[in-house]
């Protein structure tokens, strides 16, 4: 029997201070669609088939409440749960059926070795229809986590969840669990927090149209539009109402497992000499973006005076 492994990021779950305000941003500006709501939570779908790709819950402080991964079937869920337990991390209960109102399925919750909340599930509901609008997100592309112990975090994702290593830069490790070049990236930082969540758009025209919608609604491009080094994806970064960083991205490299060779920081230094951008159009990220990517905005910590990129997120952006 094959070992159970994670096959994708299904959804992200965020704690927000003002549920109504955040729900308005994610529906009207970010262009997701509300599919289910409960007393303190709203679920949003993209234009793809996944039941929802974002859950917002009202909380006193903004917080990362979960990165929810997909796997193939119930047997894989059970195997992954057993592996997580044997690794010695915190696992909340046995795998169990999930609430039908939130798309159902079968899964369990756990925390990474650094205490980041995650879950894995299978058999979640899929929408029979997909929506044809290239300016709107289809799915979660990737999640970048800040880590105070990046090597340990990477080992956890590879050994327990079945990720493969795609590339390294000075500050980041890129990990894949499907043909997408990365679904998780780990940023070398002083401690655990959420760096950003990237939503996939169908193509560059869609990304530009979505970016225009953000601008028309008063949200500046904090970094972009450009094309990254590792992953080769086009990017446009924004800061949402609770200080989380949200990215529109498209054209992420698709990996052929049989032939792919991971590259190291020296390769990417030579390949992409302009900070994190093959095109050279993006310019540097705004100071606010640098601070937000460190988790500082949503965690509510004060930015240091004379903030410089190097102080907060290191020398190289992936």
Determine how many CB atoms are found less than 10 A away from the CB of residue 68.
25
The smaller minimum CB distance to Fe ion, of residues 13 and 247, is found at 247
Q: Does 317 bind Fe ion (CB under 5 A)?
A: no
The nearer residue to Fe ion, 103 or 226, going by C-beta atoms, is 226
Q: In this chain, which stretch among 91-99, 197-205, 218-226, 255-263 interacts with Fe ion, using CB under 5 A?
A: 197-205
Q: Which is nearer to Fe ion, 108 or 235 (CB)?
A: 235
**CA pair distance 27, 2, nearest whole angstrom:** 40
String of contacts with Fe ion for each residue 87-106, x by CB under 5 A: --------------------
Q: Is 245 in the site for Fe ion (CB under 5 A)?
A: no
Nearest Cα to Cα of residue 318 among 174, 198, 115: 174
Distances (CA, A) of 18 to 42, 62, 290: 12, 9, 24
- Does 145 interact with Fe ion (rule: CB under 5 A)? no
234 lines the binding site for Fe ion (CB under 5 A): no
Nearer to Fe ion, 95 or 206 (CB): 206
Q: Is 54 in the site for Fe ion (CB under 5 A)?
A: no
Residue of minimal Cβ distance to Fe ion: 198
**Closest approach of Fe ion to the CB of residue 54, in Å:** 16
Part in contact with Fe ion (CB under 5 A); list of ranges 119-127, 173-181, 186-194, 196-204: 196-204
The number of residues making up the chain comes to 318
Q: Based on CB atoms, which residue is closest to Fe ion, 198 or 289?
A: 198
Q: How far is the CB of 235 from Fe ion (least distance, A)?
A: 6
Q: Which of 198, 201, 214, 292 binds Fe ion (CB under 5 A)?
A: 198
Smallest distance, Fe ion to C-beta of residue 182, A? 8
Q: Is residue 249 within 8 Å of residue 255, measured between CB atoms?
A: no
| 127: Cβ contacts below 8 Å, ≥ 6 apart | 45, 48, 49, 50, 51
Best CA proximity match to 196, nearest among 146, 261, 252: 146
Q: How far is the CB of 249 from Fe ion (least distance, A)?
A: 6
Q: Can you tell me the distance from the alpha carbon of 180 to that of 174, in angstroms, rounded to the nearest whole number?
A: 11
Least distance CB 245 / Fe ion (angstroms): 9
Stretch that binds Fe ion, among 91-99, 198-206, 280-288, 293-301 (CB under 5 A): 198-206
Stretch that binds Fe ion, among 86-94, 126-134, 247-255, 264-272 (CB under 5 A): 247-255
CA dist., res. 222 & res. 285, Å (int): 6
> Nearest distance from residue 225's CB to Fe ion, in Å?
13
| Helix or strand holding residue 20 (H, E) | helix 19-24
Distance CA 262, CA 147 (A): 21
Half-sphere exposure in the Cβ direction for 284 (13 Å, CA):
12
* Contact call for residues 46 and 138 (beta carbons, < 8 A): yes
Smallest separation, CB 117 to Fe ion (Å)? 20
- Residue (57 or 188) nearer to Fe ion, CB: 188
**Long-range Cβ pairs for the range 103-106 (8 Å, 24+):** 103/36, 103/43, 103/51, 103/52, 106/74, 106/77
Residue 161's nearest CA partner among 105, 98, 77, 95 is: 77
Least gap, CB of 169 to Fe ion (angstroms): 12
CB of 242 to Fe ion, least distance (A): 18
Residues in the site for Fe ion, rule: CB under 5 A?
A: 198, 247
């Amino acid at each position: 029997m094959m070992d159970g492994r994670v096959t994708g990021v299904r959804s992200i779950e965020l704690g927000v201070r003002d549920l109504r305000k955040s729900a308005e941003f994610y529906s009207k500006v970010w262009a997701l669609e509300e599919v289910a709501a409960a007393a303190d939570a709203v679920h949003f779908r993209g234009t793809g088939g996944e039941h929802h790709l974002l859950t917002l819950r009202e909380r006193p402080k903004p917080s990362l409440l979960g990165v929810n991964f997909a796997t193939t079937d119930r047997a894989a869920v059970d195997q992954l749960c057993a592996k997580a337990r044997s690794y010695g991390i915190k696992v909340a209960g046995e795998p169990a059926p999930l609430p039908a109102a939130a798309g159902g399925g079968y899964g369990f919750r756990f925390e990474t070795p650094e205490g980041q909340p995650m879950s894995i599930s299978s058999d979640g509901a899929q929408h029979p229809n997909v929506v044809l609008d290239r300016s709107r997100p289809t799915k979660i592309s990737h999640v970048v986590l800040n880590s105070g112990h990046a090597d340990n975090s990477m080992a956890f994702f590879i050994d327990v969840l079945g990720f493969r290593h795609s590339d390294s830069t000075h500050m980041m490790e890129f990990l894949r669990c499907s043909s997408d070049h990365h679904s998780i990236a780990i940023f070398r930082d002083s401690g655990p927090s959420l760096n950003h969540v990237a939503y996939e758009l169908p193509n560059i025209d869609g990304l530009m149209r979505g970016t225009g919608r953000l601008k028309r609604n008063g949200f500046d491009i904090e970094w972009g539009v450009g094309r990254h080094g590792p992953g080769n994806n086009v990017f446009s970064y924004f800061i949402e109402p609770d200080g989380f960083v949200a990215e529109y991205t498209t054209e992420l490299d698709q990996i052929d497992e049989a032939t792919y060779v991971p590259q190291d920081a020296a390769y990417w230094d030579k390949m992409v000499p302009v900070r994190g951008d093959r095109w050279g159009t993006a310019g540097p990220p705004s100071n606010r973006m640098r601070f937000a990517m460190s988790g500082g905005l949503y965690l509510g910590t004060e930015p240091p005076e004379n903030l410089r990129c190097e102080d907060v997120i290191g020398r190289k952006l992936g």
